[in-house]
Chain A
C-alpha cells in the first residue's frame, strides 16, 4: 500500500509537470538571441509574443504543446441550479506520451427541496506512449462531495464522501507465440474512502491488483478463436458505524468464443464464466435484503462481517444467414447465476434466463417484403433463506412475442403496411408459494395506407388491440378483465410552398373494458367504455429566411360510460358518466438573428371542461398556460487554435394553472458554457 503522502506527492507531480514543462520551453525561447524563433527559420519574433504564444514552441523536448482549457458554466431548470467549473491541462510528452490534469468543481442548489450538493475532483494521468516496450499509465485522483438535505421536519442530514485512487497500469498487445496473438494488461491501485451519512462512518482503504490476458488464433479462413482471462484481488480494511474489520475481494472471469464470417453466415459462439468472493462490513439484512437494525434480538450487533459469493455462466450463439432475398437472424442464449450470503437473511439466490430470438426477412418481390419475428424468453429465480433447509420455490417468468409485418407498394407513390403482434407474458410461482400467478395476453392488428404526391402526403391508420389481464389464483381473479380498443387515424400534410405547410391529424378511439366476473356476487365492477376524438391542426409559416412561426390547435373530446344492462339479444347498454373537452392553442416563433444567435418564443393556453353525470351533476372549467422566451448562442472569439467560446441556450418560463407552484410559475432554464483554450 502507498502511504497517503506518496500519492499526494504523485498528484502534485502530475499537476506540476505540465507547468514546469511549459516554463522550460518558455525559457528556451527566451534564450534565443534577438528573439529569433527556436526553429531558426530567420523570422524575427518579438520576445514577449513568443513567450505568451505556446503554440510556436518546438516539439522536440521531453514535454511540449501545453494546452490549458478553463471552462465555466451554469445549468438551470425547474428542479435545480447547477454551477460548474473545470480546468484541463494537457502536455504532450516525447514519443506519443502525454500528461494531463483535470480539476472539477460543481455546486447544485435544488429549487423544490432544501438541498445543496457540492462536488470537487482532481485527476492526473501520465501515459508513457512509446518510451517503454509496453504501454504504461499512471493515474491519481480524488473526488469529494457533500450533500446537505433538510427534510420536512427541518432536520439536516449530511452525506459527505471523499475518495482517492492512485496507481499504475501496464499493457502490451501484439505478443506472438506461434499462431497465437496475445494482449496482456496488469494494474495496481490504491483506493481509499472516508464517508459519513446519517452520522454513521463508512470508510475503507485497500490495495488492488488486477491482470488480464486476451488471446486469439485464426482457425480457418473467416473463423477465429478468442479467449480471455481476468483476475482481480483487493485487500484492506473497512470501518462501518464504529465497527472495524479487514475486507477483501477476489474475482475471476474466463471466456472463450468462436467468431465467424463466411460467405452466407456471420456470427459468434461464446461461453463465459465469472466468480466473485467478497468479505466486507454491512448492516444486518432480513430475508428480502432490506436493512433491518430495529428488529434485532438482544445482544445482536447491527453491523456484521458479510461474506458474499457470486457465480455466473453465460452461453451465447448469434447467427445471421443471408441467402439473397432471404435473411434469418437468430440469437440463442442461456445464463445462470447464484449469489450466496453467509450472514444476511437473504441466504442463497439462484437464477436462470434463456432466450430464443428469431427474425426472418424476405423480399418476396420488388413490391412486397415480409418480416416475421418470434421471441421466447423464459427464466426463473429461487431463494433458500439463511438457515432454511429447502428452497422457497422457483418464480418463473415467461414471455412469448410474435410479430409479422407486410409491406407492399400498391400503386406508384402509395404503400400499404400490415402489422400483427401478439404477446403473452406469464408469472408462475412453483408450488404456489405465492398467489401472484398472472397472464397478460395482447393482440395488436393494424393496417396503414400511405400516399406521397409531391406537395401532398397522407396516411390512414386503422388498428385493433385486445389485452386480457388474467390472474390465475382464486384470491386474485375477481378483477380479471379484457380491454378491446378500436382506432381510426387519418392524417395529411399539404406543403403549399417552401414557406407554408398545413398538417392535420384526426384520431378516433374507443375502448371497452369488460370484467370477466362482473356478474358474480361480490363483484361490483362495472364494465366500461371510453371514447375519444382528437383533432390536431398545425400551420407552419416562414415569411422569410430568418423567421419561422407555428400555430397549432388541438381539440380533444372524451366520454366515459358504464354498462347498465344487457338485453335478451346480448346488446349492451351504457350510461355516460363523464364528458371532458380539452382545447389547446400553441403559438411558437423562431428568429435567426445572426450566425451565432437564434431567438425563440412560444406560448400555449389550455381550457379543460369536465361534465360529470351522477345524482349531483357538476361542471368544472380550468385554464392553464405558459409563455417562454429564450435564445441559443454559439459564438467564439480569437484565433481558431485559441478560441474563447460561448455556447448555450437560455429560456425564461412564466406559467399559470392548477399545476403551477411557486417554484414553477417563474423560472429560468439555462445551459451556458464559456470555454477558453490557450
Chain B
C-alpha cells in the first residue's frame, strides 16, 4: 500500500508539473495579432459545395492560408495526374493529405507571387449534391506571376479535375481533388499543366 501511495503522489506531482504550465499558457499561447488594416475577405458560409469552392478561390487570390485550411477537410485527399507525377517524382503523391496540402499552400502563398484564379472556367457537372456529398467535374484556370524577376514571369495552369465536397458536422468541405489532365491555353493553344505541377514545385 505504501508503494502505491508513493506512485500516486508521484503521478499527481508529475501531472501538475506538466499540466499547469500548459493551462497557464506558458507553452500554448498564440501571438497577439496586429489590428486589421484591410477589410475582411468575404468568405461565404460553408453551407454548400459552391460556397466552399468560391472560398477556395478567395483564399487563392488573397493568398490567405487560413481560408484554405478552413475549407479543406481533415481527411482531404489529392490525387495527381500522370503528367505531374512524372514531372515531380520526388513528391509524396501517394499519401497527399491535409498536412501535405497545407505545407504546399504555405509555401505557395509565402512565395513572392500573385495569383489569379478562375476555378469554374468550364463546368461539366457541378451539381448541388445529395445533401451530404457533391461530386464535380470541371476545368480550372490559374495564372501565377512570380515577382522575383523583373518583369515578373507568368505561368498559366489549366486542368480538368474531379472534386468531391462532403458535409462533415455542420459544414461543407472540399474532401477530394483528383486532377485528370492538363488542358490547352485558350489563347496560345499550348498544353498547360494542372495544379499538380504547382503542388510538385511548392511541395513541403
Contacts and interface: CB of A to CB of B under 8 A. Distances in A.
Interface in B174-204: 180-184, 190-191, 193, 197-198, 201-202
Contacts of A113: 160, 180-181
Given A290-B144, A290-B146, A360-B14, A478 B41 contact: yes
B86 A159 contact: yes
Interface residues on B, range: 35 or more
Contacts of B107: 395
Nearest to A198: B191
Contact of A439 (B31, B87, B106, B144): B31
A345 interface: yes
A578 B128 CA distance: 15
Contacts of B122: 152
B65 A436 contact: yes
B148 A287 contact: yes
A517 B153 CA distance: 37
Contacts of B202: 288-289
B154 A370 contact: no
A367 B112 CA distance: 57
Contacts of A422: 22, 28
Given A147-B82, A288-B201, A659 B127 contact: yes
B14 A608 contact: no
A523 interface: yes
Interface in B18-61: 18-19, 22, 27-31, 33-43, 45, 47
Interface residues on A, range: 35 or more
Contact of A659 (B40, B129, B171): B129
Scoring B28, B34, B86, B148 by chain A CB atoms within 10 A of each residue's CB, the highest score goes to B148
A636 interface: no
B185 to A, nearest CB: 10
A157 interface: yes
Contact of B35 (A288, A362, A429, A517): A517
A365 B12 CA distance: 12
B66 A364 contact: no
Interface string B129-156: 1111111010100001010110101110
Scoring B7, B47, B131, B137 by chain A CB atoms within 10 A of each residue's CB, the highest score goes to B131
Contacts of A159: 82-83, 86
A472 B33 contact: yes
Nearest to A610: B131
Contact of B33 (A325, A395, A471, A524): A471
Contact of A364 (B8, B129, B171): B8
Interface string B55-98: 00000000111110110000000000011001100000000000
Interface stretch (A497-505, A528-536, A541-549, A645-653): A528-536
A10 interface: no
A590 to B, nearest CB: 24
B7 A364 contact: yes
B130 A622 contact: yes
A606 B131 contact: yes
B187 to A, nearest CB: 12
A560 B149 contact: no
B15 A370 contact: yes
B30 A439 contact: yes
B70 A404 contact: no
Given A439-B30, A558-B170, A474 B160 contact: no
Contacts of B149: 286-287, 295, 345
Contacts of B39: 478, 522-524
Contact of A436 (B110, B182, B197): B110
A348 to B, nearest CB: 14
B7 A325 contact: yes
A479 B43 contact: yes
Given A374-B18, A441-B28, A436 B155 contact: no
Scoring B27, B42, B153 by chain A CB atoms within 10 A of each residue's CB, the highest score goes to B153
A289 B91 CA distance: 13
A400 B27 contact: yes
Interface of A: 112-113, 115, 117, 147, 149, 151-153, 155, 157, 159, 197-198, 286-292, 294-295, 325-326, 345, 360, 362, 364-365, 370, 372, 374, 385, 395, 397, 400, 402, 404, 420, 422-424, 426-427, 429, 434-441, 468-480, 485, 509, 511, 515-517, 520, 522-525, 528, 530-532, 556, 558, 560, 577-578, 580, 582, 606-608, 610, 620, 622, 624, 657-659, 661, 664
27 contacts: A147-B82, A151-B160, A152-B184, A289-B201, A290-B198, A291-B155, A291-B197, A295-B151, A362-B11, A365-B8, A374-B18, A400-B28, A404-B19, A423-B28, A429-B110, A436-B110, A438-B65, A470-B30, A472-B34, A474-B34, A476-B64, A478-B40, A480-B36, A606-B131, A608-B132, A622-B130, A658-B127
